[in-house]
Structure 1
Amino acid sequence: MLKITIIAGARPNFMKIAPIIEAIKNAKNKGKQIDYRLVHTGQHYDKKLSDTFFEELNIPHPDINLEVKSGTQAEQTAQIMTKFEAELTKNPADLVLVVGDVTSTMACAIVAKKMHVDVAHVEGGIRSGDMKMPEEVNRIVTDSITDYFFTTTDLANENLLSSGKSKSQLFLVGNVMIDTLFKNLNRLEKPKFWDELGLDEKSYYVMTLHRPSNVDEEEQLRSLISKIVEKSEGKPIIFPVHPRTKKLLQNLELNFENLHYVEPQGYLNFIYLIKNAFAVLTDSGGITEETTMLNVPCMTFRDSTERPETCEIGSNELVGSDISKIEKAFERLNSGKWKQASAPALWDGEAAERIVKDVLKIYGK
């Protein structure tokens, strides 16, 4: 029996593990010798950022929650490593499967390798080139010790080959986030505040901001939000507020008539908002993949992206914090001249099935 330990730590991970778990169950039901154990590190412990996703995406209850909670990067990494080492000692695995680029991804990969357990990285090989992003450090460290890579694009493969990985370690499978998106498109739910705010399809913005470069400096945040409101032509701006951003906003008293602060949303509500938005304003990476597949205009307040395909053939555009770039982007958006998106190769809803098929082949099961 091939034993796989799957790691989930933060909100983006939950959307990536859901289709993988389903694909493992499908293989097991067909008589394949494969089983999994789900470890939730507890890195995201707000119910709206964690439990809701398990419920909505039909992810089985984790076999264990390491309950790491908050702390600095170093504190979280140390806690995850210490607790996961005890977990893996008690419940040995043949393969530890990590997804994405959060602290849990890196920390659990290090523990596994030091315990001589194989590591597979789903979404390996993506790079932003920005070492100020904690996620970029997590990606590079994880990929440097990973045994098998399940990649989203040819570019990710090129990045890994140029870092010394061999072709036999690489498996181009597509994007598991899109598996989850496609599976849930007919289950999306209108948020409770939709009618209260009088929202209409394609007549409002969705905004998410959480990166330190945007939200940790008060004047930068004030300037960015003020410019967005100025250029929004009065359209409602729906802003699900990340817990760390909420504290900063309370000091700034940014009160605009069309800017609506809402609680973090569950997956089904959030994708409903994105799908029906006039445009999305964000500094997230994962959201740009979803906007590309839904062909919704997306403006990203970053100078670099680890998902260049969302800009090259998708609906995303990088504007950074450059006010003139932001203004020009809004001009194109408001005049209906935004680009149309195409789907990257293999972003077809079948990535998780390919991953499980490849894992079974690797281990001869």
Structure 2
Amino acid sequence: MLIDIIAGARPNFMKVAPIIHRIKKRQQEGGTLQYRLVHTGQHYDKKMSGSFFEQLNIPEPDVNLESGSGTQAEQTAKIMVRYEALLLEKPCDLTLVVGDVTSTMACSIAAKKLNIKVAHVEAGIRSFDLTMPEEINRMVTDSITDFFFTTSETANRNLYKAGASKEQVHFVGNTMIDTLRANESRLQKPDVWDQLGLQEKKYLVMTMHRPANVDEEAKLKNFMDTIIVNSGDFPIVFPVHPRTAKVFEKLGLNSEKLKLVEPLGYLEFNYLVKKALAVVTDSGGITEETTVMGVPCMTLRDNTERPETCEIGTNELIGTDVNAIPSAMQKLLSGNWKKGGIPELWDGKTAERIVSILEKL
């Protein structure tokens, strides 16, 4: 069976890496699964994608669709047209998509219209917020998926409510955590550690990239001013997403505490996270990694598709009202943040379970 493994954006690479490694290991053991790694080119900047192949020991893609930038509709269309052309020339038996980026939805649609079955890794998670492009991607993808690989019982319930059968849903755990576990001993100290004179547990890491948070200059400036004022003497290390960098240039922030740095590779970024006092973010994936590493995390969103990081892990949903930030920072700086635990099956063996199920198909 030939499986197309789709990766298009930075979070995807962390999710497909352990699946590829497991398939290759099974091939050495006599397994018959074959894969074709398809990079859609949704993230085409080397800082956002290229270094991940090297750091996570992923082979270079078999195919690069080179979709590039554009509006949501333009990018979706380019990926669908180019993936359809690939499938018409060289069809696969199963298209495996991961996460919730544009590539996930676009390749699922193209495959299903050619009667190719679709498997979705990280299926069933929901924020129930239709202003998020990712939520639409999740809903559309899951509405046409044949095999669901889930990270939590909450995701299972969401899929059952939407009409999925128990035979279709496979609770396997979290491949992001497979990648983290496999690379914890390889984390690399980034150059900015010495350049900024950072010390363990004496700085904060911050990331923001969601359009609702960063596209409005006044809103982003209000966020940043409030965080800077309420974070004590701790420096704030902020690897700036390309989307956010354009807005930051106009804000006129002059605080010496704010350390804007280039986007970091996977090994360098998680080195920073692991040794930080806390992380402030609007990302979903980072909340999973901080939960497993036991690092306090504040999420600047009104909802989350990963409730287990709040119910079990170290994450707290602060919301988008800046008035909630001072009390959260006070709790953190006073040492009263919750300790958290690790969700079920986030044990580093998710890819083994996924590949075992794929072999039975």
Q: Is this a same-fold pair by TM over 0.5?
A: yes
- After TM superposition, give the deviation of residue 323 of structure 1 in Å: 2.4
Counterpart residue identity of residue 358, structure 1: I
In the other structure, the counterpart of 2:237 is 238
Superposed, 1:184-333 pairs within 5 Å as 184-333=183-332
Letter in 1 for 2:308: E
Give yes or no for contact 2:190–2:268 (8 Å, CA) kept in 1.
Answer: yes
TM-score by length of 2: 0.99
For residues 158-190 of structure 1, give each alpha carbon's deviation from its aligned partner in whole angstroms, at most 9, with x where no partner exists: 000000000000100000000000000000000
Indicate yes or no: 2:128 matched with 1:129.
yes
For 1:7, the equivalent position in structure 2 comes to: 6
Distance 1:328 1:256 in 2: 21
Q: Write the distance in 1 (CA, Å) between the matches of 2:32 and 2:246.
A: 49
CA distance in 1, matches of 2:26, 2:88: 26
CA distance in 2, matches of 1:40, 1:196: 34
Displacement over 2 Å in runs of 4+: none
Distance 1:237 1:185 in 2: 23
Which residue does the alignment assign to 1:120? 119
Aligned partner of residue 130 in structure 1, secondary structure: coil
1:234 is displaced (CA, Å) by 1.9
Deviation of the 1:75 alpha carbon? 0.2
Structure 1 residues 1-150: aligned runs within 5 Å: 2-150=1-149
The CA distance in 2 between the partners of 1:342 and 1:123, in whole Å, is 20
- 1:88 deviates by 1.2
Give the AA of the match of 1:302.
Answer: R
- Deviation digits for residues 140-168 of structure 1, max 9, x if unmatched? 00000000000000110100000000000
Deviation at 1:51, TM superposition (A): 0.6
Q: Give the structure 1 partner of residue 346 of structure 2.
A: 347
AA aligned opposite 1:264: P
2:222–2:322 contact (8 Å) kept in structure 1: no
Deviation, structure 1 residue 232? 1.0
Give the letter aligned to residue 179 of structure 2: T
Distance 1:124 1:278 in 2: 31
Give the secondary-structure state (helix, strand or coil) at the position aligned to 2:280.
strand
Q: What are the superposed Cα offsets for residues 21-58 of structure 1, whole Å, 9 maximum, x if unpaired?
A: 01111111111211000000000011011110011000
Matched with 1:182 is 181
Find the residue that maps to 1:121 and give its secondary structure.
Answer: strand
Amino acid at match of 2:195: E
- Separation in structure 1 between the aligned mates of residue 272 and residue 172 of structure 2, nearest angstrom: 28
The amino acid across from 2:91 in the alignment is: P
Aligned partners of 1:200, 1:244: CA distance in 2, in Å? 29
Residues in 2 aligned to 1:91 and 1:135: alpha-carbon distance in whole angstroms: 29
Q: Check the 8 A contact 2:40/2:79 in 1, yes or no.
A: yes
Partner of 1:164: 163
In the superposition, the TM-score normalised over structure 1's length comes to 0.98
Per the TM alignment, residue 324 of structure 1 is displaced from its structure 2 partner at its CA by 2.7
Structure 1: runs of 5+ lacking an equivalent: none
Partner Cα separation in structure 2 for residue 212 and residue 108 of structure 1? 23
- Percentage of matched positions with identical amino acids: 63
- State the aligned residue count: 361
Please identify, of 85-94 and 43-52, the stretch whose mean Cα deviation from structure 2 is larger. 85-94
Is the Cα contact below 8 Å between 2:4 and 2:35 reproduced in 1?
yes
The CA deviation string for residues 113-143 of structure 1, in whole angstroms up to 9 with x for no partner, is 0000000000000000110000000000000
